[in-house]
Amino acid sequence: MLDRTDRSLVGVWWWTVDKWLLASAMMLIVIGTLLVMAAGPAVANLIQLSSQHFIIRQLIYLVPTLGLMIAVSMLEPRTIRACALVGLAVIIGLMIMAIVMGSEVKGATRWVSIAGFSLQPSELAKPLFAIVSAWLLKLWREGQDFPGWAYATALLGIIVAILVAQPDIGMTLMMLLTWGFQMFLAGMPMLFVIGGVLVAPALFYLAYLYLPHVTLRVDKFFEGGSWQVERAMESFATGGYLGVGPGDGRVKLHLPDAHSDFIFAVAAEEYGALACLALLGLYGFIILRGFVRSLGGDGLFCLIASASLVMQFGVQACIHMASSVNLIPTKGMTLPFISYGGSSLLASGLTIGLILALTRKRVGHKYIPRGPAHTGGAA
């Protein structure tokens, strides 16, 4: 393999990147491909497409995803910040475009079409916002009288306004959560933290009162009458611990979103609860490993940025899994790397790539904990 003294870009990358995280992400990609192979043909038949439709597309999406992930993981924080700033500007532009002239899919305008593939720009806005806002917060904490928190909040306001117009409540929630999480890490005064914790349920309640489809889903959850969730729960019934075997599951024949929003249920039925636990464990490992690596990261920016990216990744996975087992009301969220979907895959690749880049060990930039001499802002 590569020699430790190899100073080329790839060489440095190989010796500094966190191989545990990299390996976990690769494993998820392999598992995801297998699962889309299982659920894809059934769903494709259900909606009258060629049975290989989803598999072929998933494999096509994998190429840019892997490329993006590896390429991004080689970048330096400085480059990342610059790229994210430009990228976010472009994405916000695309999102506005999606509202103005995008195609409506299942009652929301979130998609733009690029070279024959439809893309959901808000999926990419999520990690990019995390980078830009982490930077602003770092400047606030370490710079001179720079009200970064206000800029971050303003940026959040713009993005949330667009998302609500689409409407995309799930993504809005993720953005709010990302912002809150970053503010928390950046040392938001405890009084505000407690206030936020108290205000959040009130916000949920308002959403429940004024957003009809939120009302519906929450009511369904408490009445226990959701058809999709019942099928998902049934898949645990038929699957048991060991599953009915690859390809033999039936839930995918009945659930319209089996290949994306309910792929966990397909896994439960065909591969069993033990496989689901293993998958959960893998996500858990990525989250905790990501947090630990963020703690050792370089400077406040890297810590906040990579921790919040890990949080986004983890929350999305947890929401998907928790809805599948009826712990929370159904929220159509994809399972990162596992669910079918180009934008989702690309976004997951970007997120993991960024985490890998931000948590690389940096020679000569080693952070000295609690060192009084450290002045920060040097990265």
Partner 1 sequence: MRQLLAKLRNLVWPARPDPAKSRRIAEVRLVFCGFIAVAIIGTIGTRIVGLAEAHTNLRLAVHGQAASAMRGRILDREGRLLAGNLPITVLHANPSEIMNVNAAATSLAAILPHHNSADLRALLSKKTKYVELDRQLSPKQHAAILELGIPGVYFAKGMTRIYPRGQTAAHILGAVDTDHIGIAGIEKSFNAILSAGEDIMLSLDIGLQTIISHEIHKQIDRFEAIGGAGVILDMHSGEILAAASLPDFNPNQFGLANADARFNRATKGLYEMGSTFKVLNTAIALETGAAEINQRFDVGKPMRISRFTITDYKPRNRPLNVPEIMVYSSNIGSARIAEEIGAETQRAYMDKLGLLDRLPLEIPETSKPLSPTTWRKSTTVTVSYGHGISISMVHLASAIAAASGTGYWIAPTLIKSKTGDTPLKLRVFSENTTRAVRSMMRLVVSHVDGSGNLAEAPGYMVGGKTGTAEKIKIGGYDKKANVTTFAAVFPVHDPRYVIITMIDEPKGQKHSHGYATAGWVAAPPIRPIVEQIAPLLGILPVDENSPSIRQKLMLDFKIGNEEATLASY
- Give me the residues that bind partner 1 (CB under 8 A), please: 45, 48, 141-142, 181, 184-187, 189, 191, 233, 236-241, 268, 272-273, 276-277, 280-281, 283-284, 287-288, 291-292, 294-295, 299-300, 303-304, 307, 311, 314, 318, 321-322, 325, 327, 369-372, 374-377
E-strand ranges in the chain read: 103-105, 108-114, 117-119
Tokens 């191989």 -> residue: 19
Backbone angles phi, psi at 373, to 5 degrees: -80, -15
Say how far apart CA 268 and CA 283 lie, in whole Å: 16
Q: What is the DSSP string of 319-363?
A: HHHHHHTTSS-----PPTTTS--HHHHHHHHHHHHHHHHHTS--T
Tell me the sheet residues that pair with 111: 103
**Other CB atoms within 10 Å distance of the CB of residue 283:** 22
Tokens 């924080």 -> residue: 77
Please tell me the number of Cα atoms within 13 Å of 144 on its side-chain side: 1
Say how far apart CA 165 and CA 97 lie, in whole Å: 12
**Nearer to partner 1 by C-beta: 92 or 131?**
131
Opening angle at CA 366, ends 360 and 370, nearest 5 = 120
State the angle between helix axes of 190-210 and 169-185 in degrees (0 to 180), rounded to the nearest 10. Answer: 170
What does the DSSP 8-state code read for residue 8?
S
